[in-house]
Every structure is written in structure tokens, then in C-alpha cells.
Structure 1
């Protein structure tokens, strides 16, 4: 491992923590990260680092090493959530009402910014190019796609990202080959019948009955149409219908999400859901509009990249910091970067019950053990150097 990188991050740990607290105090929602973008750009101006402002928000920076070589992309997301923070005991609690960094993106951004500074301090040792993307709008699964459309992957050979993780104890790094985060899709189903008086059901086609039939039976797709060795989750989270207690509803609206780890399963579920909706509507003499929206891609860690993360972790922190975690049906739009380019996505634990950093992601009491920040910052930087120095993939 590069000891200069480690020493730089340890010497600047207080700055790293203060930067994270600044971002935490000033959260901005997806595609509204204007002040965050400006803050990062101002920092890069002071460092005299080349960068490009993305549209509508986001920053792409680059450090070109003294020696020619490959290009590795490091990514941090920077948007917050529409949650009212309940950590009133913190002196860096959000000052933006109804907005909160409840998923750790403030940590990601500060860790990557510190990693950039550390890599800049050893620029003459870098073989190749390190590219950095401070990405907007991960929380609405749109930011990565938007950045790719603006060309950030041109010339990139490998991608690496980190998510801070309250599930695991502080400092534990999980990055195994294969799927780690699921794809996440949204579906919308609109059943249309014929409304009427509750006392005359024979003159109507009840949209509530159609939707209820669908809700009760659509789960059989997972149990009977999908390979049991290929996990899938189908969740209906919204059911809206009716106007009054004694009126049979003409319309019923359902919305939900599907999570899978591969696109073959994804396609089967979509096809079967549409078929179910059409058959139910026909059975009750109604019609249906079915919409299925592909959102994030599954995060599927490239074998060589994931093993490199583990090697870097062992050398930088010790073998005891390597953690083997099960895949999650949670989603991350980082998978969009990995559709054609190999890479890896790691989690860095920040759970500490004494410091009350054990609340789940997206909780109003979410917080991170700031002891984890130095691990994340160093992992970013050491991974970039290690990837550029190896020639196996």
C-alpha cells in the first residue's frame, strides 16, 4: 500500500470529518445539488484540478498521472432525501427543512473529495488517469444514467464506488464477486371498469375487485414462474380506488416495485405481470393500462475488481476488515456504470451502537460513525492506485 496516501488521510482526518458535517448540514435533493456542486468546484479551483460541471448538477474531475496507463473512475453520490431530520442533538443537524442526508451520501462525497486530495499529493506516482464523478440524483435512480449520457465513461477501463453501511460494524469492507445490489423497477397498473351504485352491482364492472384479484394472485409469478435459484421480489406499495362508500369504483390504481439480480428473471416477471393484468381485466369485463419502467441495473461485481478490493482492504487495514456479506434486494444506480465496463462496488461499515449510528438507511435518525470516513477515503485512493499499477484486467 502507498503509505503516503494513508498518512495524508490520517493527517487530514479532521478536515474530512468537517467536510462531511458541512454536507450533512446542507442537504439538497436530487438534481437540486447546486450548492454542493459549487462547494466541490470551489475546492477543485483551490487545488488547481481540472474539472467539468455536469448538467444540471454534478462534477467530473480528473488527475492525470506522470506515467501513461489506464483510466479508473471513482464515484460518489451526493443527493439527500426529503426527510425531516430528528437528530436534534447533533450540532451539524440539517438546516434545510424537510431535507436530510439519511443515506450517507454526505459521507461518500467527503470521502471521495479527500481521496482526490490524497491522490493529488502523489500525482507523480500515478500510472494512468484517475477520474472522479460527484454524481447527483442516485436516490431517484436517474443520476448515473444522466452522467453516462454526458460521456463520463469515455475512455474509462474500470469503475469503483463505495456505500457507507450501517448494517455492518465500523470499518468492515464487503465486496464479493457477483451480484450485490438488485435492479429496481417501477410498475403502474390502472384497471378501468364501469362505475355505478353500490345497490346495483350487476350494472357495473368493479375496478376494486379487479385490482384486489390482481394483488392476491400476482405474487404467484415469483413462486411459479421464476427459477427459485434466481431471487425476485414483487411488492405492491400503493393501492388507490373509489370516491365514496356507496359507489362502485370505475378506476383502480396500483404501483409497486420489482427487484431481481439478472435481466432474464426481470423480463419474465415483467411479461407475466402484464399477462396477469390483462387476464384479470378481461375476466371482469374491464380494461387495463400496464406500465413497467426499468430503473436501476443490478450491481454485479467483476471478479477481478472485487478481489482487488479485498486485497487492498487486507493490505491497508488488515485481514480482519474483510467482510463477506449477502447480496441485498436494495438498489443502487451504480450498476448503470457497470453495464459495459468492469468494476466493483463496496460497502464500508459505519455501525456503532454506542454512538447511535445503528439506525437503518432512510431513517430520520440515520447517522454514521465518522471513524469510518478514513477507511472509505483510503479505500477509494488505494483502489485507484492498485488498479492502475496492475495489468491483469
Structure 2
């Protein structure tokens, strides 16, 4: 475990914060707020940060909150980030502190991330005389709609930052464990919208119409073929059409149809090529079915790639804090995270914090599930690890 003893006080201090962090997280969980609506959450966070003696800025990038802690001596500037928004999901967790707002739920654990970063801010404030440099705390809004990080960056939250770190809870990894990965950890996120126009008419007389539903169906299948036939099997890509809208009743061929979906990949080069590919395939297939197609392609977030040196730093810190047996290599996932936008601009590392039950203990529900739950023992551990990551860089 090497220098484990150096971080033992932080670990013990984190445990002393456990009930405070649990209480704060449960309050956020009861009153979740959707992306760009996190005003109450932001106010609670700002109050806690001011109580620690920080200068606090609110309304950054929507409802983002930024605070900075200065150590006793000059040095590097390390940023730590958490996201705060909830999802439009009806909660079915059965928790006594379940959401009181119908159709809104912290089903991704951003309430936990917020509590964890507040815990790290508390631990570092107690040790600021030992720090050479500064820590900037970023509480971000609107991660779920891939807007918050971009807006925060536009308002200068990375100005002067040397490195940035963040974590995400993972309910399929047991609480007490951490997963890290060199290179690509999470996929890019693009959004596609395809509007098709045909010629409406009676469902019993299709020869007098131009059916945009049939064209839309062919485009869905054509896009899947593009993945398997035009892209190397060594470059994972997912094309998912999540919405196909057309018509209002059973016996009418509609005049229009629309498709909305997402594209994910681990390759920046593949991501850059997908707009042309989708536009070409949708347009040509629509033409074959005598329809017209208009494609709107939006690149939302890039592939999340951590800096190798920062990953090594996190690995050392984790292993020195909780032991190498509690760190595992993370499997890549095509789920996206707008933390990737920070990593495009400054070196940093994003890692997984286990929040699930011990293997075989009980059923675990994944991120974005209406029965999503976390093991709250991950809160003080996450706070201690984020604090240690920053403190170790500011020795």
C-alpha cells in the first residue's frame, strides 16, 4: 500500500462526515430538478460553500456554482467537478426519501456527486494550510442534456486550471471499489434528427400517396447496415433511433414522418465521418422511396479520454488510500459524459466510484433505471478520494 498512512487521516475524516453527506444527498434526492432548472439545488450548494469560507459564484453556465479554495502557498490550480441535474423519470426505488416531484428523479446519482464534492470541499478546507496551490470546485448543471460543461467553459471556469478531476458513481460496481482506465473511457454523443416529407392520402389507396413511414423504416435499417458495412469492426459504433413519429390514425398515410436518435463511438475520426454518412444514406433512401429528407446532425460531446499522467496519479492515490485490491480496470462504455469537453482543454481524469451492493447481496439496477439506488457508504469514500487527488497534487 506504499504511502497509505499519508491518506488515512483523510479517509477517517471522510467517515466522520458520512451522516452529514447522507442527509444532504437525501434532501437533494427528495427535491430533484431537471437540467437548467437546478436553482434550489444550486442555492443549497452555495450556502454550504459559503459556510466553509469560500468566495462563491452562482448562475455560471445556467445554475452552475463555482468556488475556490486557496492553500497556504502558491502552486498549481486543480479543478474538481460534480454535476447536479436529475432526469425526467418516475421514481420506483421505494426509498423513504424518494422524489416528491412526479416524473423527476435522481436516477443517475448526481445528488450523490454533489454531496461528494461538498464533502471534498469540507475536507480540503480543513487542510488548506497544508496545500500549495488552489482548488476550484465546479458544481455543474445540465449534464444530462450535454449543455452544462460547454456553458461553464464559455464562462471561463477553466481559466488558469492546470488539471481537472471528476468521478461518476457506478451501481454495477460494489461500493468500496474504484475503476480507472487509460485512454477512451466513454463514447462520443451525437444527436440526429431526420424529417421526411412524402404525400399523404388514404390508407386504402397507397398508390396515390408517397408513404414517409415506409421510407423512415428503410432508413432505420439502412443506418444499421452502414455501421456493419462502412465502418471497421475495430471501431465500435452505435446508431440508435429512439423516436419515430408519424401519423395520427390507422387509415391515413401521413404526409410527414420524423426520426430522432443518437450515435456513439470511441473514435474521433469515426465521429467526424458520421454526419456525411447519415446525411447521404438518409437522403438516398428517401429519394428511392420518392420522399425528401432533411437531416440535422448535432455533435454534442467528444470521446472522453483521460490524460495518462492524470490517470496514473489517480491510480496511485486510490491504491495508497484504499489498497490496490479495491481498484479495478474499467470497461469502456458508449454512454457519454460532457466531462469530455473539459478534458479537451486541460489534462485530467474521470473515474468510476462503486455505488452498488456487494456481489450477490441484492439486485442492482443500473443508471437511469426508475429503481436505481446507491449504497450510501460510497459518499464519504468519494469525498475522501477527490480530496486526496487534489491534496496529493498540491503538496
Matches of 1:310 and 1:386, distance apart in 2: 12
1:74 corresponds in structure 2 to: 80
Deviation at 1:150, TM superposition (A): 1.0
State the partner residue of 1:171: 176
Aligned match for 1:339, one of 312, 335, 344 = 344
1:52 deviation in Å?
0.8
**TM score, norm. by length of structure 2:** 0.94
Please state if 1:191 is matched with 2:179.
Answer: no
Q: Paired residue for 2:318?
A: 313
Residue 285 of structure 1: how far off its partner (Å): 2.3
Show the counterpart of 2:128. 123
The answer as to 2:99 corresponding to 1:94 is yes
Whether the 8 Å contact between 1:226 and 1:268 is mirrored in structure 2 is no
Q: Which residues of 2 match residues 233-312 of structure 1 at below 5 A?
A: 233-312=238-317
What does 1:2-151 correspond to in 2, within 5 Å?
2-55=7-60, 56-88=62-94, 90-151=95-156
Q: Which moved more, 1:350-359 or 1:2-11?
A: 350-359
- Alignment partners' CA distance in 2, 1:65 and 1:79: 30
Partner Cα distance (2:249, 2:363) in 1: 45
CA distance in 1 between partners of 2:220 and 2:274 (Å): 14
Structure-2 separation of matches of 1:279 and 1:125? 64
Mean Cα displacement is larger for which, 73-82 or 41-50?
41-50
TM-score, length of structure 1 as denominator length: 0.95
CA RMSD of aligned residues (A): 1.6
- Alpha-carbon deviation of 1:2? 3.5
| Structure 1 position 228 matched with structure 2 position 247 | no
Distance (Å, rounded) in 1 between the aligned partners of 2:50 and 2:220: 54
1:366 aligns with 2:372: yes
Q: Tell me which moved more, 305-314 or 21-30.
A: 21-30
Q: 1:249, CA displacement in angstroms?
A: 2.6
Q: Which residue of 1 aligns with 2:3?
A: none
In 2: Cα distance, 1:2 partner to 1:65 partner: 18
Provide the secondary structure at the position in 2 that maps to 1:255.
Answer: strand
The whole-number CA distance in structure 2 between the counterparts of 1:140 and 1:283 is 34
- 8 Å Cα contact 2:49-2:118 kept in structure 1: no
- Counterpart contact for 1:225–1:268, Cα < 8 Å: no
Residues 357 and 338 from structure 1, CA distance in 2 versus in 1: closer, same or farther, beyond 3 angstroms? farther
For residue 96 of structure 1, give the secondary structure of its aligned residue in structure 2.
coil
Partner of 1:380: 386
* Contact 2:14–2:381 (8 Å) recurs in 1: no
| C-alpha distance in 1 between matches for 2:80 and 2:363 | 26
- Match in the other structure for 2:327: 322
Structure 1 Cα separation of the partners of residues 268 and 368 of structure 2? 27
- C-alpha deviation, 1:357, in angstroms: 6.9
Aligned pair count? 388
Report the CA distance between 1:266 and its aligned residue.
Answer: 0.9
- List per-residue Cα deviations over 1:108-151 (Å, max 9, x = no partner): 11110011010011101111111000111111111111111111
User: 2: distance between equivalents of 1:141 and 1:355?
Assistant: 34
Please name the residue that 1:201 is paired with: 206
1:168 is displaced (CA, Å) by 0.8
> Is the alpha carbon distance of 1:357 and 1:53 closer, same or farther for their aligned partners in structure 2, counting shifts above 3 Å?
farther
Q: Write the distance in 1 (CA, Å) between the matches of 2:106 and 2:67.
A: 23
**Offset at 1:356?**
4.9
The answer (yes or no) to whether the contact 1:357–1:367 under 8 Å persists in 2 is no
Q: Conserved in 1, the CA contact under 8 Å of 2:15 and 2:381? A: no
Please say if residues 166 and 357 of structure 1, whose CA atoms lie closer than 8 Å, have aligned partners that are also in contact: no
Output the CA distance in 2 between the equivalents of 1:357 and 1:8.
31
